[in-house]
């Protein structure tokens, strides 16, 4: 097992998880920060999901190749547990954000100064 290659692949998987979290749950905040239009916000979301899929797919392929290829002498000092723990933490954050977004009630928009409530 080539631990350097496995670690690079796991890092790419971690990056893809972070991109998915940012694109899925914080795209509205980023759109407000940079004053994106609605179409630009949709493009940001689509590009984020595409980049996450591309980097995650490449990371999985790299990890599998690292597991299959024979190891080298300098792979003895490479630690995989910290990267794996970061991936696990990012995955748990994603699950927590997903569950909390399902439990939130829809937010009511505030009335403008010239609007009235019709009952």
| C-alpha atoms less than 13 angstroms from C-alpha of 117 in its C-beta half-sphere | 5
pLDDT tops 70 at residue 6: yes
Query: Who's near 7: CB < 8 A, 6+ residues apart?
Result: 66, 78, 80, 83
> Per the domain annotation, does 111 fall within a domain?
no
pLDDT tops 80 at residue 118: no
- pTM, full prediction: 0.81
> Per the domain annotation, does 115 fall within a domain?
no
Q: What is the pLDDT of residues 78-114, one digit of tens each?
A: 899 999 999 999 999 999 999 988 887 767 767 777 7
> Per the domain annotation, does 113 fall within a domain?
no
> Per the domain annotation, does 89 fall within a domain?
yes
The mean pLDDT of 45-66, rounded to a whole number, is 96
> Per the domain annotation, does 112 fall within a domain?
no
Estimate the crossing angle of helix 38-68 against helix 3-25, to 10 degrees.
Answer: 160
Say how many domains are in the chain.
1
Q: Which of 98, 105, 82, 115 is nearest to 20 (CA)?
A: 98
Domain around 68 = 3-103
> Per the domain annotation, does 117 fall within a domain?
no
> Per the domain annotation, does 67 fall within a domain?
yes
Residue 29 and residue 82 in contact, taking contact as beta carbons nearer than 8 Å: no
Q: Which of 59, 83, 58, 63 is nearest to 2 (CA)?
A: 63
């Amino acid at each position: 097992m080539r631990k350097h290659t496995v670690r690079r692949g796991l890092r790419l998987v971690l990056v893809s998880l972070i991109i998915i979290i940012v694109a899925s749950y914080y795209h509205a905040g980023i759109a407000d920060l940079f004053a994106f239009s609605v179409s630009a916000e949709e493009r940001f979301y689509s590009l984020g999901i595409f980049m996450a899929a591309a980097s995650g797919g490449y990371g999985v392929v790299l990890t599998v190749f690292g597991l299959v290829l024979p190891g080298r002498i300098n792979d003895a000092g490479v630690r995989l547990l910290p990267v794996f723990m970061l991936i696990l933490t990012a995955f748990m954050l994603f699950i927590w954000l997903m569950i909390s977004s399902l439990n939130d009630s829809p937010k009511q928009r505030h009335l403008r100064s010239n609007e009235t409530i019709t009952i």
